[in-house]
Structure 1
Amino acid sequence: MKVFWQLGWFFKREWRRYLGAMIILVFVSVFELIPPMAVGHVVDGVVAGEISTELLMWLLAGMLAIWVVVYLLRIVWRVWLFGAAAELGTVLRNRLYDHFTRQSPHFFRRYPSGDIMARSTNDVKAVVMTAGEGVLTAGDSIITGVAVLIVMVSQISWQLTLLALLPMPVMAVLVNRFGRRLHHTFTESQAAFSELSEVSQSSLSAVRMVRAFGLEQHQMNQFNQVADRTGEKNLAVARVDALFSPVIQGTIGASFFLTVSGGGYMVATGEISLGDLTAFTLYQGLMIWPMLAVAWLFNIIERGRAAWTRIDALLQEQPDIVGGDTPLPDTMQPLTLAIEQFKWQPDDSFALKDIHVTLPPGAMLGIAGPVGSGKSTLLQLLLHLTQLEKGDIRYGDVSIAEADLSSWRQRFAVVTQTPFLFSRSIAENIALGRPDATQAEIEQAATLACIDEDIRQLPHGYQTAVGEKGITLSGGQKQRISIARALLVEAECLILDDALSAVDGDTEHRILQNLQQHQHTRTTIVIAHRLSALENADEIVVLSHGQIRERGQHRQLIQQPGWYQEMHQYQQLEAALEADEEPRHD
């Protein structure tokens, strides 16, 4: 019953519906006690020849009316109860989603997406079943069972009642043992389902790569192995489930055997009448559900307890990133980076060290450097996706550690090298950050991102569905749609993280020209490997091994010996060779 205590916060919240359902159940149980007693009197009256046809018809009509009332009341209380349980599912999913959005990248490295999906679906379903079917089973079985036992003891025979209950302790011991086994096997089956979900999700996400490398059979074999393990775990659960029913059926059979044997003897000796025995067996029939419910209740509770343990493990994960409550100024402010040092792990080498940059409002900062130089780490610190321990990042006079987390991130619009598009229309993807944007505003942002013409050539224009992760679009089109999305938000700081790598040089130039025309309204940070994207930057910093090795403007850096000059000369030579080869292909 521990899971009921763990869900106590929800029962307190929905106490009216649960209490109302229990009150109606009490009335239902009382009404159900009347027909067996009436049948017993009818049997005794018929045996004694003391009941008239008219009285018999009235008794039958009364019992029919009671059954109709019980039927209607059961509908009402089940609607209240299961309605509350359905609300629990909504509450848990909302809490989980909100919890996930506040987690750092470390959380998602510990919990793969397939595991998260399994806990958010299968485990939530099991907990909802506990709050619905579990409460129903517990309430109905306890109230009905106690009410029937009271009537059987007080109105018929306590000796016969005791005789009928003799098999119950054996059933209780076995059911408790099976319940512990079920908890263990169900936990393992849910973990196996998480693994299956993760394999399915990763395989479908990488379906292009799988086909490109001809790995279909390999992936199929891997999936079959995981599916087989999941099936074995589920079969283990089914085996334990199968143990409950024979125990309950055997207990019911033994109870009825003792009742008929002992009751027949008591009728023969005159201790009870035939009508009393008939009523007792009818009451015992009402006890079948409580006895069956005991096994079903243990089953539900153990499933729910195992599922809640897995859900609660996620909810107990505290966010690594916790913002302050200081609001940011309404006007554009300088952005100051003063990173003394940063390590991903205590034993790692420095990912960043001695990074000091001040970016005035409306300025453009270029960031370059070889792979692994710390550019992505710098971006994660700037967006407060990971915690900076030594140093500070400030927006005006407000430190990143003191600023409201949501308000801080809203000041930035980010376009990554591998943008993500949702399975919606192009217009909806562009308007993701501003759902209330007009069509004219969407088209204006697309024009600035040099994607408007491409969109209009599609079959349905801006209403064209892009498919899963934008699968119907090219890499350059996806990047430009993402740029349009960022421009529409009109954030104070636009970050392009190698966001022009998939477009040609002419398109890159036009996009940067469009951005420069609106430079006074936003601060821009451009991270790029293609140095032509940094030509108009007010300042460029070149990172190497987490430190600033070069800094200055484009025309200064190409004159100074170093990585930037070498990379610029290489890219110039590469462009010249490509231009020289074009006529030959014609």
Structure 2
Amino acid sequence: MKELKHLNKYFKKYWLKLFFGIIITIVARLFQLIMPSYVNNSITVVEQYIKAEIEKSTAQELLLEYILIIVGAALLSGFFTFLMRQLIINISRYIEYDLKNEIFDHYQKLSLNFYKKNRTGDLMNRISEDVNEVRMYAGPAIMYGIQTLTLFACLIPLMFIKAPTLAAYTLLPLPFLSVLIYQISKVIHKRSTIVQQYLSTLSTFTQEIFSGVSVIKAYALEPQTNEDLEKLAIEGKEKSVSLAKVNAWFFPLMILLIGISNILVIYIGGKQYLAGEIEVGLIAEFILYVNMLTWPVAIVGWLTSIVQRAAASQERINEFLNQESEIKNMPTHEHTVKGKIEFKDVDFTYQDTNINALKHLSFTINEGETTAIIGKTGSGKSTILDLVARLYDTTSGEILIDDEPIKNIDLTSLRESIGAVPQDAFLFSDSIKNNIKFGKEDATDQEIMDIAKDAVVHENIMGFSKKYDTVLGERGITLSGGQKQRVSIARALIKKPQIYLFDDCLSAVDTETEEEILNNLKKASKNRTTLIVSHRVSSAKNADKILVLDDGRLIQEGTHDELNTREGYYKELYSKQLSEKES
């Protein structure tokens, strides 16, 4: 139960509704207890009339009175049961809503390392399937638990008061039923956990397959994919069948033992009636009592199973909730970002791969400067942009923004001042207009069109049947690589931040389009700090400063003209790309 203590804050939040829900649950059960006594009274009246102990008119009046009481108690019990479900089950839905939001908010706070270590399918399963298991504890388990306790507390003493011997025989099979169901529930819990883990695996597999469907088709991997899915499906079927086999014992055992209780009531009660110890109506009353106890007794094991599954699910949820982000937001004071960036002897190593991406890197970019970063693949270019956006923290060394340590600046304020265009452009399954507005929510249609023209994607968009209202497929699959990059550029430009981070975002466009975009970027980024990562010298030559990296180290620094007069990597790259362009 210690894992479920996490929900106590939500129970405190909704304590008033929960309190009234519990009171109403008790009241509903008490009204239910009225009915068996009046069924007994009604049978006794009929018996007395048959024996001519009361007149027909009196018997009819009494029967009508008892029937009205039974119907009234049933209606009141049903009404309060309705209110009970409205309160307690609704509370469980509120808690489910709050818990999902808590998990989602926490997911967003965790660093990129967390997402590298965990699969999307597992993350989704914990926020959906696991939260649903916890909801069953927060609602149905509490509701049925209160019902069970109320019936046990009221009904069993009442049965022993009315007929001790008959009560003892009647209740004899019920402990066996509870123990059997408890044992079955333990097995169900183990096998349910296995099925749940399998669902995470299946979710991850299908998510990856659908995301990479273009690669699967390109390599004609459909038969292999179907075979892999078939293996997973067979494995899932075996796990589910194993669970179903145990579940199959649940209700037959319950019906068997409750049937034995009913037989004992009739047999023992019949003997006592023949001996003149009890009235025949009491037998009927006890049969009703047994059937009223059927579900509560059976539910003891079921409730235990719910609590076990909820605890297991909450443990999985807590595993992620207890993970703290490696990026701590601890601003020392308010700071408006202007755009000066300085790296001081920065080292950075990726935790997941242990790759030392940057080594003793130092440079300064002044406010409003455009800086290009050139280097071979794996030289650490993209890592610099990630560190400026503080997606990671340095392993050693220090990064300063406007001469202020980056860790002292509010994380939200820092990222709001940055417009980033990643190398792998990510677009959402929404309209093109909304994807661009992601950079500025209140942007007008005219602003969106103007920015799209700057990103040289307006003509492409106008060629679509629904133009800017065209809804993109998952991850922007509707668009070509170059179109995705340009929409992503438009999204950054419309934000008008103090710092632009362009990570090789023109790799999928032709040189003419690239030139046009770069000219527009130069106008848009005037007086704004801009970092451009590229493999092309054409993207870098007009920058105020060029940084050349090799294996995480800064090997050259200067303007295009300066670097082109020195022997080294930049001059070689420029000569090579120039000759390729001419040929």
Same fold (TM over 0.5): yes
Change (3 A) 1:5 1:330: closer
Aligned to 1:175: 181
After TM superposition, the runs of 4+ consecutive aligned structure 1 residues lying more than 6 A away are: none
Say which of 160, 163, 170 aligns to 1:157.
163
Deviations 1:193-252 (A, max 9, x none): 111001100000010110011000111111111222222222222223223223322321
Deviations 1:468-523 (A, max 9, x none): 22122111111110000001111110110000111111211111111212333411
How big is the shift at 1:328?
4.8
Q: How does 1:98-247 map to 2 (within 5 A)?
A: 98-154=105-161, 156-247=162-253
Aligned to 1:87: 94
- Supply the distance in 2 between the matched residues of 1:170 and 1:413 (Cα, whole angstroms): 67
Aligned to 2:29: 29
Say which of 422, 425, 430 aligns to 2:431.
425
SS in 2 for 1:354: strand
How big is the shift at 1:349?
5.9
- Supply the distance in 2 between the matched residues of 1:553 and 1:109 (Cα, whole angstroms): 37
**2:447 matches 1:447:** no
Structure 2 unaligned segments of length 5 or more: list them. none
After TM superposition, the structure 1 stretch with the greater mean CA deviation from structure 2, 467-476 or 364-373, is 467-476
**2:553 matches 1:552:** no
SS in 1 for 2:23: helix
After TM superposition, the structure 1 stretch with the greater mean CA deviation from structure 2, 129-138 or 353-362, is 129-138
How big is the shift at 1:136?
2.1
Aligned to 1:409: 415
Change (3 A) 1:427 1:346: closer
Change (3 A) 1:182 1:7: farther
- Supply the distance in 1 between the matched residues of 2:183 and 2:337 (Cα, whole angstroms): 67
Report if the CA contact (8 A) 1:25-1:74 is conserved. yes
- Supply the distance in 2 between the matched residues of 1:328 and 1:449 (Cα, whole angstroms): 33
Say which of 313, 322, 335 aligns to 2:319.
313
Aligned amino acid, residue 83 of structure 2? V
How big is the shift at 1:530?
1.0
Say which of 522, 531, 537 aligns to 1:531.
537
Say which of 377, 394, 402 aligns to 1:388.
394
Report if the CA contact (8 A) 1:248-1:295 is conserved. no
How big is the shift at 1:48?
1.7
After TM superposition, the structure 1 stretch with the greater mean CA deviation from structure 2, 240-249 or 501-510, is 240-249
Change (3 A) 1:330 1:378: closer
Deviations 1:532-556 (A, max 9, x none): 0011111111111110011111112
SS in 1 for 2:148: helix
Deviations 1:361-386 (A, max 9, x none): 11011101001111122222222112
Change (3 A) 1:189 1:441: same
Report if the CA contact (8 A) 1:179-1:302 is conserved. no
Aligned to 1:14: 14
Change (3 A) 1:27 1:348: closer
Report if the CA contact (8 A) 2:346-2:394 is conserved. no
Aligned to 1:582: none
Q: How does 1:498-577 map to 2 (within 5 A)?
A: 498-577=504-583
Change (3 A) 1:238 1:211: same
Aligned amino acid, residue 470 of structure 1? G
SS in 1 for 2:308: helix
SS in 1 for 2:390: coil
SS in 2 for 1:520: coil
- Supply the distance in 1 between the matched residues of 2:2 and 2:270 (Cα, whole angstroms): 43
How big is the shift at 1:390?
1.1
Aligned to 1:580: none
Aligned amino acid, residue 513 of structure 2? T
**Identity value in percent:** 33
After TM superposition, the structure 1 stretch with the greater mean CA deviation from structure 2, 523-532 or 8-17, is 8-17
- Supply the distance in 1 between the matched residues of 2:187 and 2:267 (Cα, whole angstroms): 35
Report if the CA contact (8 A) 1:241-1:299 is conserved. no
Aligned amino acid, residue 109 of structure 2? R
Change (3 A) 1:5 1:347: closer
How big is the shift at 1:465?
1.3
Deviations 1:14-73 (A, max 9, x none): 112221111111111111111111111121122122352122112212221222222222
Aligned to 2:494: 488
Aligned amino acid, residue 439 of structure 1? D
Report if the CA contact (8 A) 1:175-1:298 is conserved. no
SS in 1 for 2:408: coil
- Supply the distance in 2 between the matched residues of 1:474 and 1:166 (Cα, whole angstroms): 73
Structure 1 unaligned segments of length 5 or more: list them. 578-586
Change (3 A) 1:486 1:473: same
SS in 2 for 1:136: helix
- Supply the distance in 2 between the matched residues of 1:345 and 1:60 (Cα, whole angstroms): 75
How big is the shift at 1:428?
0.3
- Supply the distance in 1 between the matched residues of 2:310 and 2:413 (Cα, whole angstroms): 38
How big is the shift at 1:331?
5.6
TM-score (norm 1): 0.94
Change (3 A) 1:188 1:323: same
- Supply the distance in 2 between the matched residues of 1:345 and 1:77 (Cα, whole angstroms): 51
Report if the CA contact (8 A) 2:331-2:407 is conserved. no
Aligned to 2:380: 374
TM-score (norm 2): 0.95
Change (3 A) 1:297 1:105: same
Report if the CA contact (8 A) 1:179-1:298 is conserved. yes
Change (3 A) 1:406 1:528: same
Report if the CA contact (8 A) 1:326-1:398 is conserved. no
SS in 2 for 1:271: coil
Aligned amino acid, residue 102 of structure 1? K
Report if the CA contact (8 A) 2:343-2:362 is conserved. yes
Aligned to 2:255: 249
- Supply the distance in 2 between the matched residues of 1:255 and 1:533 (Cα, whole angstroms): 86
Aligned to 1:295: 301
SS in 2 for 1:368: strand
Deviations 1:239-285 (A, max 9, x none): 23223223322321222222222222222222221122221222222
SS in 1 for 2:371: strand
Report if the CA contact (8 A) 1:423-1:469 is conserved. yes
Report if the CA contact (8 A) 2:336-2:413 is conserved. no
Report if the CA contact (8 A) 1:327-1:407 is conserved. no
Change (3 A) 1:575 1:333: closer
- Supply the distance in 2 between the matched residues of 1:2 and 1:557 (Cα, whole angstroms): 64
Change (3 A) 1:514 1:206: same
After TM superposition, the structure 1 stretch with the greater mean CA deviation from structure 2, 324-333 or 104-113, is 324-333
Report if the CA contact (8 A) 2:337-2:498 is conserved. no
Report if the CA contact (8 A) 2:258-2:290 is conserved. no
Change (3 A) 1:278 1:297: same
Aligned to 1:52: 59
Aligned amino acid, residue 328 of structure 2? V
After TM superposition, the structure 1 stretch with the greater mean CA deviation from structure 2, 364-373 or 85-94, is 85-94
Aligned amino acid, residue 88 of structure 1? I
- Supply the distance in 2 between the matched residues of 1:346 and 1:198 (Cα, whole angstroms): 20
- Supply the distance in 1 between the matched residues of 2:386 and 2:170 (Cα, whole angstroms): 70
Deviations 1:135-177 (A, max 9, x none): 22212222123222232122x1122222222223323332332
Aligned to 2:284: 278
**2:330 matches 1:324:** yes
Report if the CA contact (8 A) 1:182-1:302 is conserved. no
